[in-house]
Structure 1
Amino acid sequence: MKKFNSKSCEEIMTTVYKPIEFCIDNLLAQGLYILAGAPKVGKSWLALDMCLSIAKGEKVLGQQTTQGTALYLCLEDSYVRIQNRLYEITDGPAERLYFVIMSEAIGNGLEEQITDFKNEHYDLKVVFIDTLQKVRNESESGYGTDYKELSVMKALADKLEITIVVVHHTRKCADSDPFNMISGSTGLSGCVDGSMVLIESKRGSRTAKLHCVGRDIENAEINLQFDSDLKKWIVTDEPSDCKSKDNIFLAALYVYLKKHIDFCGTASELVNVLKSVSDETFYPNRVTRDLVQNGYTLRKYGIDFQYKRTRNGRLINLHYDHERDSSDSKNSTVVTVNGAHKQYLANP
């Protein structure tokens, strides 16, 4: 019998893992997602806008994107219809955007087709499948069948480290919980990493709310208005861009290490020395978490982090290497430091 491959709590909490990458900040991370809505509500326009924005590295729905290749499986369309839509939504072609109008089904070759495409386009970020029904291999819909079928796509997204979004329909009957309106069993919602449900306030009104929920995103309800001239869904209540306290901590750490190069001590001692560069209040019990979860980011700025357990307790070792610092000095903000104003990097 094969034994469990277990890891201790301490090992997990002190290991720097590669962070989950978002192709659209706060909306789409690596993994499997559902985009659902009523027929002709505008799901395809939203999907196309997302694909185009990722391919160009432009904002969509007020959120930043990570630029890369986008693959859109328009399985209910023709190339003529796709061409017409593209001319409606953009004034020029995007080099990293590709379309497919025919594909194999899940379990019958689709995974291999996506894998081959990824091998040819190493920077593939997102695959939209419009619609899910077109690639389903099972005619029946039940919890076990739905979960099993989407589990294949979930495993593929995780393996390739990409985002896969399946476009799906909602049921006609209304529900106080919009996610209960996703057509099919709860096996669909249970398997995916996140769901987005687009619901018009009134049929044909072109005003809608995008309900979002997921493992790696905050629950959100985004009010949208469809711009008939731009052929895009526009956010009508775009939230203000607030600074993350984690980023302020990293910025203070960056400023301190640029001057002192090295640090070795406990979390409490680190919090104490950071008082010399920031008036913000940081807490020792959060320091290790912030360092571990931002380990990859710190490396980009020439900061190496090690966490060691010794007889005297747990020690944090930090070292700054100017040669490996890839920061942009223009990306800075003025922060109050010991009663004065000081400029330093706010979002490493």
Structure 2
Amino acid sequence: MMEKMKTTAPVSSVGADGVQPNVKNHNEIIANSQEQINQQATKNPEKSGNDGLHTMSMPELYDTVFVPRVPIVDGFLYGGTYLFVGAPKVGKSFFMAQLAYHVAMGIPLWDYPVRKGTVLYLALEDDYARLQRRLSGMFGIECADNLYFATQAKTLNEGLDRQLEGFLKERKDARLIIIDTLQKVREVGGDRYSYSSDYEIVTKLKSFSDKYGICLLVVHHTRKLESEDSFDMISGTNGLLGAADGAFIMHKKKRTDNEAVMDIVGRDQPDQKLTIEFDRERCVWKFKKAETELWKQPPNPLLEAINVFLTDRQAWEGTATELVNQLPDMQLQANVLSRRLNTVNSQLFNDYGIFYDNKRGHERKIILKRLEAKE
């Protein structure tokens, strides 16, 4: 049974000596080809009407196997496009370096398991000498071979997407790209602060992250005006947050404080409010407390049964009816079993490390395979 992860519990240090908490999840991401990541379904939705509108009925939706959504940092950061917002000099760049290093090394971030993968950090307000000083002060001389930096990049209308595509083609296991900051890559125009332009730029970034199955984390600034809702402090219009998959807001009561509050909201993770503290000696952010316990999905009896079924075998292939016969305690009909597995595919993949597919053909075959961490 999967244990609940409590962000209110004492935590280990956040540097390279972090210890993996006792949770069931794999802490290394399982690499897929770009084609497999980008695949949205095993069948195309039907076209309906003369305008070519793509539709999918509810039965078709339930009968489709979608590619699992694999977290970058479990319970904290997922694939898609996210904003990371804070006032200038609040410590955003230190946290970006810390996050990038942890993902590249596969080291847990506080209590959050990390899925190891290649990281690209566009530190567009820094130079390489400053990055060298910052990183060596934070992590010593232990290097992450799959962590890459760039201090210059094109804007979106100049070809940033082509630059990033070139990087991803060379490094198939890339999972996280940090853009620090948004202002450095956005198009300059007279209406750059309008809702439509804000929505459009994040939509472009989101289209890219969805296409390649990665996470784009975009650093941005807060406005000077205070607000009771911290997300209203994002500089620009609501179009930025409206188009993004989520946002992180880092703010302090006073600029000289070591403590900061991080508000988190997103489509794939629960809303959270964390209190973190800056270790000025090591220049890393340490976890202090969470306002609420991080919610975890309860154990699923069907997935537990699948996990037990694969205990003595690495893989299995057969029809839904044959699988039903292997799981008599579930008392499910074959079509119900298939649909249930389709809808919990991501949980089966992330929590148990089991790949599932429902192959279409002359006879539909279910495939179950227990994966190794780096498979």
Q: TM-score, normalised by structure 1?
A: 0.78
Q: Write out aligned runs for 1:24-63 (5 A).
A: 24-63=73-112
Unaligned runs of 5+ in 2: 1-49
How many angstroms apart in 2 are the aligned matches of 1:127 and 1:256? Answer: 38
The 2-side partners of 1:160 and 1:306 are apart by: 23
Whether 1:185 aligns to 2:234 is no
Q: Whole-Å Cα distance in 2 between the matches of residues 300 and 35 of structure 1?
A: 30
Structure-1 residue corresponding to 2:61:
12
Alpha carbons 2:245, 2:266 under 8 Å: kept: yes
- Secondary structure (helix, strand or coil) at the match of 1:212 reads strand
8 Å CA contact 1:27–1:217 kept in 2: the answer is: yes
The 8 Å contact of residues 57 and 68 in structure 1, kept in 2 or not, is answered as: yes
Q: Deviations over 1:204-248 (max 9, x none)?
A: 111111101111111111111111122111111267787642455
Query: Which structure has the larger Rg?
Result: 1
Counterpart residue number, 2:35: none
Please, which of 102, 118, 132 is the counterpart of residue 83 of structure 1?
A: 132
Amino acid at match of 2:60: E
Q: Distance in 2 between matches of 1:155 and 1:242?
A: 29
Percent identity, aligned pairs only, is 31
Match of 2:41 in 1: none
Residue in 1 that maps onto 2:275? 223
The secondary structure found in structure 2 opposite 1:196 is strand
Distance apart, 1:256 and its partner CA: 4.8
Q: Deviation of residue 61 (structure 1)?
A: 3.5
The separation in 2 between residues aligned to 1:212 and 1:182, in whole angstroms, is 13
Matched, 1:130 2:180: yes
Q: Verify: 1:142 aligned to 2:187, yes or no.
A: no
Distance 1:302 1:228, change over 3 A: closer
Task: Assess if the C-alpha contact under 8 Å between 2:80 and 2:209 holds in 1.
Answer: yes
Match of 1:165 in 2: 217
98, 102, 120: which is aligned to 2:170? Answer: 120
- For residues 21 and 111 of structure 1, the distance between their equivalents in structure 2, rounded to whole angstroms, comes to 23
* Partner-residue secondary structure (3-state), 2:157: coil
Call closer, same or farther: CA 1:201–1:14 in 2, change over 3 Å. farther
Aligned to 2:306: 253
Letter of the 2:110 counterpart: L
Aligned counterparts of 1:150 and 1:303: Cα–Cα separation in 2: 32
Residues 325, 22 of structure 1: alpha-carbon distance in 2 compared, 3 angstrom cutoff: closer
Task: Give the TM-score, by structure 2 length.
Answer: 0.73
1:204 counterpart letter in structure 2: T
User: How big is the shift at 1:258?
Assistant: 5.5
How far the C-alpha of 1:303 sits from its partner, in A, is 6.5
Change over 3 Å in CA distance of 1:240–1:171 after alignment to 2? closer
**Residues 289 and 51 of structure 1: CA distance in aligned 2, closer, same or farther (over 3 Å):** farther
Higher strand share: 1
1:249 is displaced (CA, Å) by 4.2
* Aligned position for 2:44: none
**Residue 151 in structure 1 maps to residue 207 in structure 2:** no
Shift of residue 40, structure 1, vs aligned partner = 0.5
- Where 2:55 maps in the other structure, the secondary structure is coil
- Matched letter for residue 126 of structure 1: L
Structure 1 residues 244, 117: CA separation in 2 closer, same or farther (over 3 Å shift)?
A: same
1:59 CA drift (Å): 1.1
Q: Which runs of 5+ in 1 are unaligned?
A: 276-281, 308-315, 329-348
State the one-letter code of the partner of 1:142: S
Q: Contact between 1:257 and 1:263, CA under 8 Å: does it hold in 2?
A: no
Q: Equivalent residue for 2:329?
A: 273
SS at match of 1:202: coil
> Quick check: 1:126–1:164 contact (8 Å CA) kept in 2?
yes
Structure with more relative contact order (C-alpha pairs < 8 Å, separation 6 or more)? 2
1:245-324 equivalent positions in 2, closer than 5 A: 245-247=298-300, 249-256=302-309, 273-274=329-330, 290-295=340-345, 297=348, 301=354, 324=369
Deviations 1:286-339 (A, max 9, x none): 9766522333646964776689xxxxxxxx99787xxx44479xxxxxxxxxxx
User: Displacement of 1:52 after TM fit?
Assistant: 0.6
